[in-house]
Structure 1
């Protein structure tokens, strides 16, 4: 499912159930600052948005930012690289400063590994948006061997460079504490087989995996004609190779499409493919046989979408009135946040390696 090209950003966070400042409890320290309004940090320019650029090489970096500090109240969001959210909308009182820390993965190309949609800029890019964005300090330094959570998947996961399309991998990053980082190698249009065999995708990811790094593997949307044996074989190959590097493979069944028959999702929505293979069932069976954790995102996203019903569930996906396109497969920013929340919930429930680093 290659992403269509659209330039609009999705709506900002704000509805119930999204990651909010409360999710970052313990990571920020706010204090009043009676000093005069500060100049922007080195490398930053603009007012709304404020953009910052740092000419670092690909790798992982510890980034500390201080937002606020101006004579007026502020409302600031922080995004890095290809629309990865790091700090949800954060309010600061006039003269107050709040400091937050993150570990950020920098790649080139910075969005999808094959360069679909654009390659972005070399180095680290940070954008501070919001109704009145304020930033008074930025620090960037090389991270010392963080735990890296790798994402292997398709367009429902990937770092989409431009809105309104948003992968859930772009929206789980605010939940990850410093010392761990998300490296999103998902790529639009990939099946389990194409991802496995493209040198820019699974082989590139695998070359960087270190002991105990989790690798989250989600495929199904583009395995429309894949046989059961081929699908199982592709998953087992990825599992075996990740384990050989000391990594921890985690299977993620594909999230549902919004295709209803009455108030229930259709078999196609639940990823029974064109040759009759129930892909989530096959993935669950592989997980059992290989003793690999499985995040059943098909089941949890089905429960979410069916609970909302045919009409209200449209907000999870892309709507013409809001996003300029109607799409019952790809997520809005709101939807990607909800789906990402289901992934995070399962990570916590199963106590997977990333759990200790979740806020």
Structure 2
């Protein structure tokens, strides 16, 4: 295995790529930057020790591997570079130009990394709210922020989830759907999960807004996928999640139920994150499920809606499993 690792290292150093691919490589120790323009890129990494990769706005690109000294593991993933790096509002700043790569894990070791442009990569767009957002600064994390780690190289997860967004504001604000829609190419997968902030939206308006989003995606040739929202950490005395926990809004509209019905009527794929996260959270129980969310002891705040890094990874795993079971075309790129 050590010889294999050395061979891989040599291949990363000496291997040539087509001239128009313009690959760039470096040995990264901690944080490194690649001066590349906006677009999709494949990252190939030769990892050792207990090392993973985050990119851009704390997106989890590769989960840490665990190897013995002198042993190497080859991993690859496709990522998007954009400005702003985080949420489309840019409220947390534009970020740093180019592609930022940070080593993660309990005992990270220097990693050899190659970055290659992939302008024709298939894309997975995420239209959602803060529960899925790319949060530039801790402690909050979104489940789509962790989704790239479940895919091998191929599709780029383009996360345009915006904190505070509802079906109303995502359509009304020119920074959101008006920006995302022209990017969508035929065959792109578009995950739509908007519900948490539709607290005062009537059922009729909610259905109409969803129809506008779905029709807009289809008009671009994209493949819309309906995703129900993750549950909140709101328990009743019976040990079950309350209606607020199950994302029933202030008008009594069961938003996940509406999403299920819209998907059924339109014959669209449905990823029922509400049902899956309910099973996970209720199965753990009120106390044991708190680490999925932000807690006073660990994060300085008790937050029953937003996710910890651990929670984001767990909920992203539920989404990835649902994508596989729904047999979405991009599911063929999921890691085993």
For normalisation by structure 2, the TM-score amounts to 0.90
Match of 1:351 in 2: 327
The aligned runs of 1:265-276 (5 Å cut-off) are 265-276=241-252
Secondary structure (helix, strand or coil) at the match of 1:150 reads strand
Structure number having the greater helix percentage: 2
- CA distance in structure 1 between the partners assigned to 2:233 and 2:106 by the alignment: 32
Q: State the superposition RMSD in angstroms.
A: 2.3
User: 1:109 pairs with 84, 87, 95, which one?
Assistant: 84
Q: Which residue of 2 aligns with 1:211?
A: 186
Aligned to 2:20: none
Decide whether the 8 Å contact of 1:31 with 1:98 is kept in 2.
Answer: no
Superposition deviation, residue 289 in structure 1: 1.6
Partner of 1:16 in structure 2?
none
Change (3 A) 1:78 1:229: same
In structure 2, what is the Cα distance between the partners aligned to 1:266 and 1:59?
42
Question: Tell me, which stretches of 5 or more residues in structure 2 are unaligned?
Answer: 14-23
Cα deviation for residue 175 of structure 1 reads 1.2
Q: 2:260 pairs with 264, 284, 301, which one? A: 284
Residue correspondence of structure 1 range 150-229 to structure 2 within 5 A: 150-229=125-204
Deviation, 1:116, is: 2.2
Map of 1:70-149 to 2, 5 A cutoff? Answer: 74-149=49-124
Relative distance call for 1:167 and 1:29 in structure 2 (3 A) is farther
Task: Describe how 1:230-241 pairs up with structure 2 within 5 A.
Answer: 230-241=205-216
From 36, 44, 49, the equivalent of 1:64 is 44
- How many pairs does the alignment contain? 322
Task: Determine if contact 2:132/2:145 at 8 Å carries over to the other structure.
Answer: yes
1:353 to partner: Cα distance = 2.3
- The answer to whether the 8 Å contact 2:27/2:111 transfers is no
Instruction: Tell me the distance in 2 between the aligned counterparts of 1:169 and 1:293.
Output: 18
Alignment of 1:233-252 (within 5 A): 233-252=208-227
CA offsets, 1:297-329, max 9 Å, x none? 111111111111111111111111112211001
* Cα distance, 1:94–1:158 mapped onto 2, change above 3 Å: same
Q: Which residue of 2 aligns with 1:31?
A: 4
Q: How far apart are 1:131 and its partner, in Å?
A: 3.5
Q: Return 133-142 or 242-251, whichever deviates more.
A: 133-142
1:135 deviates by: 2.9
TM-score of the superposed pair, with normalisation by structure 1? 0.85
CA distances 1:1-32 after superposition (whole Å, capped 9, x unpaired):
xxxxxxxxxxxxxxxxxxxxxxxxxxx99834
| C-alpha distance in structure 2 between counterparts of 1:301 and 1:136, whole Å | 35
User: 1: distance between equivalents of 2:74 and 2:102?
Assistant: 16
Displacement, 1:97?
2.9
Q: 1:165: how far off?
A: 0.5
State how far apart, in whole Å, the 2-side matches of 1:192 and 1:291 are.
20
